[in-house]
Amino acid sequence: MDVAAPPETVFDVVSEPYLGKTPHAMADKLRVLERGSDLVLAAHFTKVSRGLTATTIETVRFERPERISFRLVRGPVPHLLETFRLRGGAGGTSFEYHGELGTDLWGPGQWWGERVARVWEGAVALSLNDIKAESERRAQRSSG
């Protein structure tokens, strides 16, 4: 997706809840368990259905200003990697998302992975929309 904000702004929007103080408004979505200067261990909470929330534990690595990587440590599937790549350009940032989900247990694992992927993709889409909106809001505020 294209974001009308500089890569540094987009990077800050994504990294602040992890590397700084997590906003109270995000308490039902994120809890940082261990915080370093460029790597955190975080619990992510995703509403799966009414009354049901999935918890994943992930490492999140920050490589300012162009890359943020997520690696699943504990969750509903054995393998999950996500990467955000940020590239500056005319008028803002090109934001590239890549996700990889792996399963085991052959047919049953594939069946389960397809269900997890649907929820995961929906959660990622909502997060990306929020990142874009907040980054563009900050860029507009700083230029106006």
The pLDDT tens digits of the residues spanning 74-99 come to 999 999 999 999 999 888 999 999 99
Q: Which domain holds residue 117?
A: 2-143
Q: How confident is the model at residue 32 (pLDDT cuts 50, 70, 90)?
A: very high
Query: Which H or E element spans position 56?
Result: strand 52-63
What CA–CA distance (Å, rounded) separates 12 from 43?
Answer: 19
Question: Total structural domains in the chain?
Answer: 1
Overall pTM > 0.85: yes
Counting Cβ atoms within 10 Å, is residue 40 exposed (0-12), middle (13-18) or buried (19+)? buried
pLDDT surpasses 90 at 14: yes
What CA–CA distance (Å, rounded) separates 143 from 129?
Answer: 21
What CA–CA distance (Å, rounded) separates 80 from 43?
Answer: 14
- CA 83 to chain CA mean position, Å: 8
Q: How confident is the model at residue 144 (pLDDT cuts 50, 70, 90)?
A: low
CATH number of the structural domain spanning residue 26: 3.30.530.20
